[in-house]
Every structure is written in structure tokens, then in C-alpha cells.
Amino acid sequence: MPSFQKLFFESKGQPVVYNGQTIQMVDRLSIKNGQSLKVIFESVSAEWRQGVHLSTDGNFIVNNMTVKKSVVLWQDTAPKEVLLQIHTKKGECWIKNVWDTGNGVMDSWHNGAAMKVEEIGSGKRYRCNDGKPDDDFNNIIFRIEIA
């Protein structure tokens, strides 16, 4: 099975080509201060709990609550669609997939973790692998639309 961790180590965390497709550890969205994003969970096919981690240099407003720097949306507890407003100075939102194997620890970026990112009309679709070394990219599939 593939060792995406080794590929990303060799590329110093930059996207790599695997089987003719670009895969990456993290994605960066360019956004405007005060802009809203909608996270939409499409599917999960995993043994472990799956989630989406978003971070910025400012804060997020979710359900009328302000959350500084980062927010994690777990697929099993978040609504299917989540609207977030982002306040940022640098105009960036970083996205990665995360998982919990059942020990209460949020994992990311190791072993089989990787994402295929597809540009879609109003945003991006993310097909993600978790920490198992396989290449099916179906552990969590979600999209982020710029509202």
C-alpha cells in the first residue's frame, strides 16, 4: 500500500503526483474578510470518526458563536451543511481532513492521509484518506462552497 507520509516528507509537505493525480495534505482557500463558506458533508466510508479542520489567522462565526483560529466539524455530530463566516487579515482558510480512531485524539497528516481536491463551480470538493494506508480516497468526501 502507498506511503503518502513518505511522499509528503520527501516533498516537504507540498502536493505530489500519485497514480497520475495530484494529492495533498492540506488545501488553502483564498477568501475575503467576512466571507461565508458552506461545508457540505457528502459521504463517509470509514471505520473511524471523520471530520474537517478549518483554520485562519482570525476567527470563525458559527451558529452565532465566535471561534478563534480554527474549527473542527465532525461528520457524525455536525449538521450535513454548516455555514461559517470567516474574519481574516491574510485572506486565507486552510482545510485538512481529520479523524479519531476511538481514543479521543484528533489525528491528521500521517500514514495514509491525503486529499484529492477538485475545483467545482462554487468551491471545491475534497476526497480524503484517513490514517489507513490505502488509496481509495473515500473515507470522507465533502465540499466547501463560497457563499
DSSP 63-75: TTEEEEEEEEEET
Q: What is the pLDDT of residues 41-98, one digit of tens each?
A: 999 999 999 999 999 999 999 999 999 999 999 999 999 999 999 999 999 999 999 9
- CATH fold of 4-146, please? Jelly Rolls (2.60.120)
Number of Cβ within 10 Å of residue 41's Cβ equals 21
Output 12-20 pairs: Cβ under 8 A, ≥24 positions apart: 18/114, 18/135, 19/135
Mean pLDDT of 21-40: 96
Q: What is the pLDDT of residues 83-137, one digit of tens each?
A: 999 999 999 999 999 999 999 999 998 888 999 999 999 899 999 999 888 899 9
Confidence of residue 147 (pLDDT cuts 50, 70, 90): confident
- Enumerate the domain spans of the chain: 4-146
Helix (H, G, I), strand (E, B) or coil at 20: coil
pTM: 0.95
